[in-house]
Amino acid sequence: MSEFDYDLFIVGAGSAGVRAGRLAATSGARVAIAEERRVGGTCVLRGCVPKKLLVIGSHFAEDFADAPAYGWTVPTPSFDWPRLIAAKNRELDRLHGIYRRLLSDAGVTVLEGRAKLAGPGRIGLGSRTISAERIIVATGGWPVLPDIPGIGHAITSNEALDLPALPKRLAIVGGGYIAVEFAGLFNALGVEVTLFTRGDLPLRGFDEDVRLTLAEEMAKKGIAIRSRTRVSAIERGGDGTLRLDLVDQDGSAGRAFEADCVLYATGRHPNSRGIGLEETGVAVDELGAIRVDEFSQTSVPGIFALGDVTNRMALTPVALAEARCLIEGLYHGRPRAMDYSLVPSAVFSQPAVATVGLGEAAARQRWGEVDIYVTWFRSLRHTLTGRDEQVMMKLVVKRDDQRVVGCHMVGAEAPEIVQGLAVALTAGATKKDFDATIGIHPTVAEEWVTLREKRPETSL
């Protein structure tokens, strides 16, 4: 009989916690998981899934607009936002149920409430103290907003996914994943969207051609991008209008902007406050991210951390993979460090972005000489619609051994296409392998295997 209540206690039933709990329980461990909100976490309830459903819903606007070019007569379409939100929420309820069932079928005990570490091997939950041989902290992250006057008038992605009605004018502050994704979906639904970014272009850290192309394509679709502009204060007028005070990058203040709703997408911080980390001696960094080694071990033996709370790479498939690596090490004797080098990712902006491997600048820094193949073109679909939408594809090839080290795409189907390319890069594909691959015609994707002309160095 074990001296512990459980072999493994997990704090947080999001992507990382649920995956770790199920894998550990099916390996024979006695597992409990605590959740203070709803099982499923950010991805299922406040992130990837609801966001993608709204993005899918918003795409119909362009489809209706384009249909006459293909012979259709479309009566003026009308859109009902509350109906979409209700449908989305029904799906989230269904998924929540599935996640709960997956846990109970695997034999995981689900405990409701906010858990707090009470020392190595001990967890507080309400008035109870529970003991466990091992603990995993998988508490995720939460939106962070700057401390400016009137910030209480702003919403975050959490509320944006459940707005009671569509605003007429929406200001979005930030230039990362969430900012461009929400800008795209609300713009497509007819909201006047203005994006305020601190830098010149959105998506800092992405390949420069991706950033430029996306900014141009977003602008063509009607999104106003106010770059190098900060919001210094927000005020609500008597008629409910929000007034944003703006400061240019050069420091000149005094301009104002009016909107009906302001969404802050200025990043997320790890959920690590008030959960007993300091008291237990679990080290965190300056942002509050739990420090872990390559095996997700924290500074305290027996306590591990996974997912967004470690701020390694805030993506669901990464959280899932970290969980698998950890559980295989703990319960199957196969410790494995997670490999972050070729993690593909997509931004569900309009048009979408998808990428795997290094951008051009990062590849030059890492590998020295690289060959660049890049193309912009209009897809067959838009030859009839006349829509001026450019698809961009870019290959970054390491010059010495011709290995493809980066694929970057801006275009409607980019996320679906780049997933397959990630397999090729993981397998170590060279430019010759791409060239030897037969295309599928007529597709957008076939361009990946017909890129022949290197970009001349002089154009850099």
Ligand X SMILES: NC(=O)c1ccc[n+]([C@@H]2O[C@H](COP(=O)([O-])OP(=O)(O)OC[C@H]3O[C@@H](n4cnc5c(N)ncnc54)[C@H](O)[C@@H]3O)[C@@H](O)[C@H]2O)c1
Instruction: Tell me which of 50, 174, 406, 411 binds ligand X, using CB under 6 A.
Output: 174
Distance CA 177, CA 197 (A): 12
* Amino acid symbol at 175: G
Instruction: Give me the residue label for tokens 């919403």.
Output: 155
Distance CA 345, CA 188 (A): 22
Residues 394-433: x where in contact with ligand FAD by CB under 6 A, - otherwise, as a string: ----------------------------------------
Of 55-63, 187-195, 312-320, 425-433: span binding ligand FAD (CB under 6 A): 312-320
In angstroms, give the least distance from the CB of 67 to ligand FAD.
Answer: 28
The answer to the question of whether 179 is labelled as a binding residue is yes
The answer to the question of whether 178 is labelled as a binding residue is yes
Q: What SS3 state is found at 5?
A: coil
Of 83-91, 261-269, 390-398, 437-445: span binding ligand X (CB under 6 A): 261-269
Instruction: Tell me which of 54, 189, 284, 315 binds ligand X, using CB under 6 A.
Output: 315
Cα–Cα distances (Å) from 103 to 18, 23, 24, 125, 235, in that order, read 7, 10, 11, 19, 46
Contact between 271 and ligand FAD by CB under 6 A: the answer reads yes
Question: Which residue, 185 or 215, is less far from ligand FAD as judged by CB?
Answer: 185
217 and 351 Cβ atoms separated by less than 8 Å: yes
User: Which two structure tokens, joined as six digits, stand for 401?
Assistant: 């051994």
Instruction: Tell me which of 5, 7, 8, 13 binds ligand FAD, using CB under 6 A.
Output: 13
Contact between 51 and ligand FAD by CB under 6 A: the answer reads yes
Task: Identify the sign of the CA torsion 135, 30, 39, 174.
Answer: positive
Contact between 257 and ligand X by CB under 6 A: the answer reads no
278 and 110 Cβ atoms separated by less than 8 Å: no
Tell me, by CB under 6 A, how many residues bind ligand FAD. Answer: 35
Instruction: Give me the residue label for tokens 């406050």.
Output: 273
User: Which two structure tokens, joined as six digits, stand for 136?
Assistant: 């995993």
Contact between 48 and ligand FAD by CB under 6 A: the answer reads yes
Contact between 36 and ligand FAD by CB under 6 A: the answer reads yes
Distance CA 439, CA 29 (A): 48
Interface positions with ligand FAD (CB under 6 A) = 11-17, 34-37, 41-43, 46-48, 51, 114-115, 138-140, 157, 178, 271, 275, 307-308, 314-317, 319, 348
Binding residues for NAD(+): 174-181, 267
